[in-house]
Chain A
């Protein structure tokens, strides 16, 4: 118990002292996850909109696929991506394995089904009159799409926040395709795993605090936005 409290105090000291290694890990973690969400979100929103508003062959199959892929474990995505990016893999020539870019790709794959499924649910719940009204008032389809996004913004923000929460805390994929290399691909979850295995609890706890605060904040954010969405509809 004494060790734990000592480690916790040391963890706070590390965070507050501006320890370069710690803050570099935090910054890489956020950078990778923000990039992944930034790239995945626009495509996911367009797909979700089409799935919710238009009828086309295989639509139901696609919805089922996205819902199913939400539950694929991060480590399986990591393994698949590792095989694709490894030297003997089909994209081995790109030399992306054990880079931050590979981690971004992995996190895009991880967040994409969740973003599509949650955004689809938000668009599905949208009032179809909003789309028809925008079109009948002369809006071009892209403007009507942005209008509709604004009308269901709380559901969409909740989707993005949930997507970010999913990727920023995952370890399996980042460990496999990033390799947990200091100053290059070490992010919060992989660093926690490493420091704990070395018995360096202070750094592990410090990063754990950041991740915990972030996760709680994100979950609270999702609840607030979903609640706002419900009260608006």
Chain B
């Protein structure tokens, strides 16, 4: 199976310290990948680079048949890849306005946007929150609104940073259910998490970012032919 997107030679240095240097990272299409690693290993940094939010020192991107530098690929990846923070940021507006935010880029008319937002709210079982101020929601509700806001844009890859951190059991279950549905819809998902037990059942493969290198802990049978090996291992 062809990967959705490939990054090669990704390295980034912050305050003079090399955070990681990854030889090759291929994101499998339509699958869920779990990324683990201790605090400070660079999971968030890696996600931000992948989403076009943070410029690495080096990287090459292969996407949609094109080989690009990070800067050349930025417009493409920002269009198709959505990154969600550990605690998603919702704008100081209603839930409806938050979900509609990204749709304005497509120049759609108001009626069409409204219809899509209502459908999305229904999909996520959030219709009762439609007119609430986003700032007043609980952590679990914010996460679900953020997932709905991302889904409405039909991304090809969702990068979720600790999506169930500091949530109660019920909120974790509801978020897990949404993630399952997103995966079922064919959206590729990468999840970084410490609480592996809450998302492990979703993951087709499990990667670990440790000491600046990416290791494969579990490979999907479908993607066995895809390598995700770190530079040192490959060179050795």
Contacts and interface: CB of A to CB of B under 8 A. Distances in A.
Interface stretch (A125-133, A193-201, A215-223): A125-133
A21 B79 CA distance: 60
A151 B85 contact: no
Interface stretch (A8-16, A26-34, A137-145): A137-145
B85 A140 contact: no
For the side of the interface on A, what is the size category?
10 to 19
Given A137-B102, A138-B102, A151-B91, A132 B53 contact: yes
Contacts of B87: 129
Contacts, number: 54
A136 B83 contact: yes
B67 interface: no
Given A138-B78, A140-B105, A133 B153 contact: no
Contact of B153 (A130, A138, A140, A147): A138
A137 B89 contact: no
A136 B91 contact: no
Contacts of B102: 137-139
Interface in A123-165: 127, 129-130, 132-140, 143, 147, 150-151
A60 interface: no
Q: Is the interface of A mostly helix, strand, loop or mixed?
A: helix
Contact of B82 (A137, A140, A147, A151): A137
A137 B101 CA distance: 8
Nearest to B106: A138
B48 interface: yes
A128 to B, nearest CB: 9
Contacts of A127: 89
A232 interface: yes
Given A132-B53, A138-B78, A139-B105, A232 B85 contact: no
A74 to B, nearest CB: 36
B51 interface: yes
Interface of B: 48, 51-53, 78-79, 81-83, 85, 87-89, 91-92, 101-102, 104-105, 135, 149-150, 153
Nearest 3 pairs of A and B residues by beta carbon = A129-B89, A137-B102, A138-B105
Interface of A: 127, 129-130, 132-140, 143, 147, 150-151, 232
